[in-house]
Amino acid sequence: MTQYRLTNPKKRFETIIQLSKYLETIMSVRDTQLKSLDGRAFGELDNFKGDSQISYKQWRGIYKKHGWTEVEKYKCFYNPNDVTQQGDITMRNQVVKGDRVCAFKSYKQEMLYNDSYGAWNRYFTRWQLKYSLIEKAPIDLSILNTLTTITIEEALFIRLGISPAVLSKSGFHDWSLFNLKPPLRKEITYQDYNGKEWKTNTGINNLIEDKLTDTDEYKILIRMFDSKHIKTVDFVNWAINNEYIEEDKTLYRDTEKSPYGEEFADLLYKELSAVGLISRPFNHLWKWHAHWNALHYLVKQLQLNGLTKSKSYFKDIQAYIHYTASTDLRKQTQPEAYDDKGGKNTSPDDHKVDTVIASLLKNKQ
């Protein structure tokens, strides 16, 4: 089965850095909303209560206590001692002095701060989880082999160098970019002490989603496929032709068919790596760095010492170590060599094997 990999693995780190910056922006907006929430009614209200739990009577009592003037009709207060001169404007070459306005606070506006903070905090929390999933997940393009169609979000994640597999996690439940709709905002109309109407809302938006749909990668995918779902073969051919992905010729182990079991394979891998007999990552077929007769010796010692129990042990080792010789491993032996005094000579690689066996036996105890 053909495997695929990114042609530019660095793209993943670039995307993660950019997402972290977006997350910082959301946190900054959330903190600004919290500051407004903290400051309402001179900081004398419970931050986690809204207009359904804080009556106008409770709110007005605080402003009365601080000497502000009430305009009950508009449910607001103003401070006659805090006056600001608005900027002058020029009309028909005549300078019109700006109005003098008093600082004022509206009950409806201050109650909305609770909703604004709640909306931004929920959005921040959801994206914290999404970011964590993205950051921790190694790139996995196996969906290009297992699915006949992929979503445009999965295609985008591949183009951005992040694993499309995270989209199946609970943190991305019902998450979509295609035909993205703006989030629902709570909107209010309130009046100042003169009865002038003002409109505002919670200000929540799809900040990161909007950034993602504004990337060149997403725009190109839309122009190329313009669909929520894309045939996998079409995407693969397009991505290979444009050098976004390539065939992965890396030799991987089949961890589902591990004759020794993955727990013992992990111990063997660490010991062989420590003495320099193998290289490559654990989930790859390991590269052997010695003569093949040393591998023959390793297999025999594993079996003789009861570390492995198999009738086909010369075959089983090849599920872990990439064996490339044409000669059967069973026949990879050398004549015993003796020194002038009749003692048996062993190679440095044999000593390495003995070290590995000793360590494995000690671990077994």
Tens place of pLDDT for every residue, the chain, 365 residues? Answer: 688 999 999 999 999 999 999 999 999 999 999 999 999 999 999 877 777 889 999 999 999 999 999 999 999 999 999 988 665 455 555 544 557 789 999 999 999 999 999 999 999 999 999 999 999 999 999 999 999 999 999 999 999 999 999 999 999 988 999 989 999 999 999 999 999 999 999 999 999 999 999 999 999 999 999 999 999 999 999 999 999 999 988 888 988 899 999 999 999 999 999 999 999 999 999 999 999 999 999 999 999 999 998 889 999 999 999 999 999 999 987 655 444 454 555 678 889 999 999 999 998 87
CA-based torsion, 353, 355, 357, 359: positive or negative: negative
**Same domain assignment for residues 149 and 200:** yes
Alpha-carbon 286 to chain mean position: 29
- The residue segments making up the domain with residue 186 are 3-83+96-229
**Same domain assignment for residues 198 and 274:** no
**Same domain assignment for residues 100 and 33:** yes
**Same domain assignment for residues 219 and 352:** no
Amino acid at 219: K
**Same domain assignment for residues 205 and 288:** no
3-state secondary structure of 335: coil
Where a domain ends, among 229, 250, 274?
A: 229
**Same domain assignment for residues 197 and 274:** no
**What's the structural domain count of the chain?**
2
| Residue 283 domain-assigned (yes or no) | yes
| Residue 294 domain-assigned (yes or no) | yes
3-state secondary structure of 142: coil
**Same domain assignment for residues 225 and 270:** no
| Residue 211 domain-assigned (yes or no) | yes
Q: What does pTM read for this prediction? A: 0.73
**Same domain assignment for residues 214 and 267:** no
**Same domain assignment for residues 44 and 146:** yes
Where a domain ends, among 186, 213, 229?
A: 229
